[in-house]
Structure 1
Amino acid sequence: MFPISDDNPTLRTPVMTIVVLVATWAVWFWVQGGGTPLPLAISVCDLGFVPGEVSGRAPLGLGVPLGVVDGQPLACVVDDHRINWLTPILSMFLHGSWGHIIGNSLYLWVFGNNVEDSMGRVRFVAFYLLTGVAAALAHLAVDPGSPVPTVGASGAISGIMGAYLVLYPKVRVRTFIPPFFFLQFPAWLVLILWFGSQVVSGLPDLSPLRREISGGVAVWAHVGGFVAGALLARLFENPELVRRRRVVSDAKVVWS
């Protein structure tokens, strides 16, 4: 089930949602080489969030295989560089593949523009970054010694989705159900099902055997971001913008 749009028009152009998307794609092409193997591997290793580096629990010098480029095996080595403390934010603008960035961009556009419309531009950016950091901390809490770099905006976007659940639970969301179905569901159903799937997928990571059975996705970052977003949504919403949206919505009901 993939959300593709919603019945929830905005009152203002979602400037900061667009800015975040442009920044993310700029990083993908200029820093990560549009997925070219070597720049991609270097960016993930140097700027990705490594829980074990932040916690100090991963042994310095430990190498994590990153694949083979031009016949040469690559590995990401655990270090103690100062930039590691910035990776919870830097990693939010990095991605691991075309599918990764396209999927995240779709989710951010569908849900982010309305959340920005209720928060305002400055609050929205602060909210986005804060929930992204909360997602990284959730991942750190579940696997503090992991030497594996993680990248992606999924944690912050999960925060946006958590806020959308609180702010617009009854809005109809158009979803694509492979291979051929396009259906509409209330946002609360789409988001609760998504959240539930993340929790179920993350349960193996709580097992002592998680390194052997983990699927390689930091799903607890998604869970942490979503919960943070739901809890912080009302704190970050702008009452005046919410009032304006309500007035416009009520007017449409009267004229319809």
Structure 2
Amino acid sequence: MVIPVHDVNPVRRTPWITYGLIAANVVVFLRMPAAAHTLAGNVTASQLCQLQAFVEHWGAVPRELILNRPPGLVPVGQVGIGPHGVGCLLGPRPYGKPPALSVLTAMFVHGSWLHLLGNMLFLWIFGNNIEDRMGRLRYLLFYLVCGYAAGYGFALTDPASTQPLVGASGAIAGVLGAYLVLYPRARVWSLVPFLFFIPLRLPAWLILGMWFVLQALYSTGNGVATGAEAVAYIAHVIGFIVGLLIALPLRPGTPPPPVPRRRSQAHHT
């Protein structure tokens, strides 16, 4: 998997919305139960149950989104002993949860440090140019539309599912789709695995095209490693396509990224 680290595509203004989205995602994650312990892997049973209750509260559940049928019992954040041993207690939901609003809150909830940092890296690299091109308010609306499309699109693929969907991946995938349309020739410094990671400057169309192909492949169940089945790859695909389509009308008026200059050779006497 190629890891982008920086694009050669300067912006004209400070991307405050992108910075704000990154900050909001980090703050929400740090306030999650057991967030500080997930990196080390020493999460207790009590913390795990609190985390499950948090994700259930703020995540988007497909059955609620499509069928408007909330689950009868949800994790309440406490450890209990049942017929199958120690587990998380279930009980009636003690809070109201508008399904449409849950898609918004789910965009700011992440299941692990790796999930959070991977998403924020892509948003940091590619989001600033899309914000610069669209303008701050339109960019924010664009981001939310892509996130909602990804969330509801994912729910439509499995409307009976009760597993909460969380993460900003769908919205960020929309940003990647827009970047592919608007700046396909921009150069992106990336780490390419070949025995070890080699830094190369590659065109955006190659980086983002490969990313989309992999997401589409994984969404069919092909090439998915054991334990990765919980990733909502189809939400990535939907968000990417929606972002691409929204950005298409902006392409004719988008100036191309600057051509990277070669380093000049210094001559010493």
TM class, shorter-length: 0.7 to 0.9
Say if 1:34 and 1:188 are closer, same or farther in 2 by CA, change over 3 A.
same
Letter in 2 for 1:224: I
Contact 1:55 1:144 in 2 (8 A): yes
| Distance of 2:24 and 2:151 partners within structure 1 | 20
Which structure 2 residue ranges, 5 or more long, are not aligned?
Answer: 38-46, 265-269
Matches within 5 A, 1:51-90: 51-56=62-67, 60-61=71-72, 72-74=86-88, 81-90=96-105
Match of 1:187? 204
Distance 1:132 1:67 in 2: 31
Q: Distance in 1 between matches of 2:135 and 2:213?
A: 29
Task: List alignment gaps of at least 5 residues for structure 1.
Answer: 206-211
User: Identity percentage over the alignment?
Assistant: 39
Are positions 1:201 and 2:218 aligned together? Answer: yes
Query: After the TM superposition, which residues 107-122 of structure 1 pair with which residues of structure 2 at under 5 Å, given as runs?
Result: 107-122=122-137
Higher Rg of the two aligned structures: 2
Is the Cα contact below 8 Å between 2:80 and 2:89 reproduced in 1? Answer: no
Preserved contact between residue 9 and residue 258 of structure 2 (Cα < 8 Å): no
Alignment of 1:72-151 (within 5 A): 72-74=86-88, 81-151=96-166
Q: Is the CA contact (8 Å cut-off) linking 1:120 and 1:237 kept in structure 2?
A: no
1:20 alignment partner in structure 2: 21
CA offsets per residue over residues 88-113 of structure 1, 9 Å max, x none?
Answer: 11100000000000110000000000
CA offsets 1:205-247 (integer angstroms, 9 cap, x no match): 9xxxxxx9971111110000000000001457896xx4xx56x
For 2:176, the equivalent position in structure 1 comes to 161
Counterpart of 1:46, as a letter, is H
Look up the SS of the partner of 2:221 in the other structure: helix
Mapped contact 2:15–2:132 kept (Cα < 8 A)? yes
Aligned residues: 241
SS in 1 for 2:88: strand
Q: Tell me how far 1:10 sits from its aligned partner.
A: 0.8
CA contact (8 A) 2:187 2:201 kept: yes
Q: In the alignment, is the contact (CA less than 8 A) between 1:62 and 1:147 conserved in 2? A: no
Counterpart amino acid of residue 54 in structure 1? L
The structure-2 alpha-carbon separation of the partners of 1:216 and 1:68, relative to structure 1 and needing over 3 Å to count, comes to: farther
Of Structure 1 and Structure 2, the greater helix share is in 1
Residue aligned with 1:173, SS: strand
- For residue 164 of structure 2, give the secondary structure of its aligned residue in structure 1: coil
- Spell out structure 1 runs of 4+ moving beyond 6 A: 66-71, 75-80
Does structure 2 retain, via aligned residues, the 8 Å contact 1:163–1:230?
Answer: yes
Q: How far apart in 1 are the matches of 2:137 and 2:215?
A: 29
TM-score (norm 1): 0.82
1:216: which partner in 2?
A: 230
SS of match in other structure, 1:183 = strand
* Pair 213,151 (structure 1): closer, same or farther in 2 beyond 3 Å: closer
